[in-house]
Structure 1
Amino acid sequence: MDWNKTKTIFIVVFSILNIFLYTLYFKQRSDAQNVALIGRTSIEEVLKQDNITYDIPQNVKTKSSYISAKIATFTKDELEGLKDQSIMLLENDTTIQAKLTADLAVKDANKKYQFEHFLANYVYAGNEYTLWEVNETEQKAVFFQVAGEEPIYFSPNAMLTVYWNDEGNITGYTQKMLKSFSNYNHKDLLTPVEAVGSLVTRGYVKPDSKVREVKLGYSTLVQLQETQVFAPTWNVHVELKDGEMEDHFINAIEGKVIEFHLDPSQETEDPEVEEE
């Protein structure tokens, strides 16, 4: 057996195989890039046709993970340091219902809401909540608990609602929160432009609108008795042609649109997801 000749044949065969595999890889990569380019171009064309403008920052997260958390229970001992308020614990100690016993203005001397002071000085772990909405008609403000830096959208178990009276003094609040957060299953996210394009093609964003902001948060994916699982979710904040504002939510991994239907007897309820 001529070993040198056999070795040469093997080298030639493996070289041809490597060239073939590299060519196949390069073609697949080029095809994927072309598909992505075509998809992005199509989205931008759709937005242009509907006269939908957007101003989305470039430095946004491209990856995130699902998170899980448990419903927190409170004890009177840990709430003892909260001043100028009487507190009741409800729903198996998972809900704080507080009534303020001192006058505390909801606005400062410049007629601006001063929630930061209230959260820092009167609410347990107040720095874990971010303002979502002020309803001046009903004289209340809704805050969402944050996980890291992202808000948890419309979870009744991660919410703070503050109330005030006609004199402009805060009368009390209700609070629920989550604890023991865990991250798992890191995933690529839809880009903000892809999220907007998906909403437009499904008719959620009307022509002649302007996308003011696309912000990442979380929404309920699975709810068990004590533990909840949340999925990364894009909140698309849109200004309509008439100046009205709308918020839309889309699962940032699966691309499913999420609609929150509110029960008038509660601040929020769990979301419903549009099936593909």
Structure 2
Amino acid sequence: MDWSKTKTILIWAFLLLDVFLGYQVYATRGGYWQNPEASQSEKWEMDDYLRQHNVTLDAEVPSDTPDMTYLNAEYVGIGALELQGMAGIDATLEKMALAARLKPPIAINGQITPNELLRQIGPRMMYSDQYTADLYQSNQGRLLYWQVYDKVPIFIAPLEVYLADGSILGYRQTYLNIRSQGTSRPIISAYKAIRSLVEKQVIHPGERIENVTLGYYGSYDAEIQGLAPVWRIIHDGKQHFVNGFTGAQERPLVTNYFPGK
């Protein structure tokens, strides 16, 4: 028996088996959301379902269902030493946030984007490059941003920037240390999340779905907590969060701290 030849055959056999099993995992877990025909079919089914329930879909619904994980989040605050070298602010440390008044306020010159506005604040804010704007929940007097992890917003880590008379007056900022936890796996589609809220009569006939956004969410009042992927669905000015793994509805976000539009 030629052991060298037999060993080569076995190596190739195991390699082909690995490729086959890898493809099966891809087809089962990732292939669906990358298939535009399947996504389009689900969209048509959802349009028909919402029409039957007299619910208007007036929002762009993301079609991706990426692999995601639970996250560990810890609020450690922004310490006094970090603030010492930051000129031009009058800062107050709160339980879960830093409140800062700009001294003097920064004048806004012309029309600027939310990202450009953060760059104008520049040296008067820590970690400003780690936030993304939520234009849907912003208004003329307050721009709302969320801290991001892997480009996905964290719906318990807000940055509010306050504006008046063409100037930036100050901000209130929550910043979390984030670590991934566990193995990544695919989440449910946004359409399934919407359907679950309609089935549970959280979204009522006659209502309008205004915004659908993928993000992370957890218990707001805990300094160390786990965050789950969620679909945030805003309808008729109300917002609800659907767990991206289980499809269960998460408890509402405490909104008296960050008022909506």
TM-score of the alignment, normalized to the shorter chain, above 0.5: yes
Question: Match of 1:109?
Answer: 110
Pick closer, same or farther for the CA change 1:62–1:143 going to 2, 3 Å. Answer: closer
Once the 2 structures are TM-superposed, how far is the Cα of residue 251 of structure 1 from its aligned partner? Answer: 1.0
Whether the aligned pair in 2 keeps the contact of 1:217 and 1:232 (CA below 8 Å) is yes
Structure 2, unmatched stretches of 5+, are 1-27, 33-37
Structure 1, unmatched stretches of 5+, are 1-28, 239-243, 269-276
TM-score (norm 1): 0.64
Question: Match of 1:220?
Answer: 218
- Structure with larger RCO (C-alpha < 8 A, sep 6+): 2
Percent of matched pairs sharing the same residue: 23
Question: Match of 2:91?
Answer: 87
Give the number of aligned pairs: 217
The code of the aligned residue for 2:50 comes to L
Aligned residues: CA RMSD: 3.6
Once the 2 structures are TM-superposed, how far is the Cα of residue 249 of structure 1 from its aligned partner? Answer: 2.0
Pick closer, same or farther for the CA change 1:260–1:108 going to 2, 3 Å. Answer: farther
Pick closer, same or farther for the CA change 1:122–1:186 going to 2, 3 Å. Answer: same
Once the 2 structures are TM-superposed, how far is the Cα of residue 219 of structure 1 from its aligned partner? Answer: 0.8
> How many angstroms apart in 1 are the aligned matches of 2:120 and 2:46?
44
Once the 2 structures are TM-superposed, how far is the Cα of residue 183 of structure 1 from its aligned partner? Answer: 2.9
Task: String of CA shifts for 1:94-147, please: whole Å, max 9, x gaps.
Answer: 642322112313x442387653334544310011122233244xx333322112
> How many angstroms apart in 1 are the aligned matches of 2:160 and 2:177?
18
Whether the aligned pair in 2 keeps the contact of 1:222 and 1:229 (CA below 8 Å) is no
Pick closer, same or farther for the CA change 1:116–1:75 going to 2, 3 Å. Answer: closer
Whether the aligned pair in 1 keeps the contact of 2:133 and 2:143 (CA below 8 Å) is yes
Tell whether 2:224 aligns with 1:233.
Answer: no
1:120-135 paired onto structure 2 within 5 Å: 120-132=122-134, 133-135=137-139
Question: Match of 1:257?
Answer: 249
Tell whether 2:58 aligns with 1:56.
Answer: no
Question: Match of 1:99?
Answer: 101
User: Rg: which structure is higher?
Assistant: 1
Once the 2 structures are TM-superposed, how far is the Cα of residue 189 of structure 1 from its aligned partner? Answer: 1.2
Pick closer, same or farther for the CA change 1:119–1:100 going to 2, 3 Å. Answer: closer
1:127-206 paired onto structure 2 within 5 Å: 127-132=129-134, 133-136=137-140, 139-153=141-155, 155=156, 158-165=157-164, 167-206=165-204
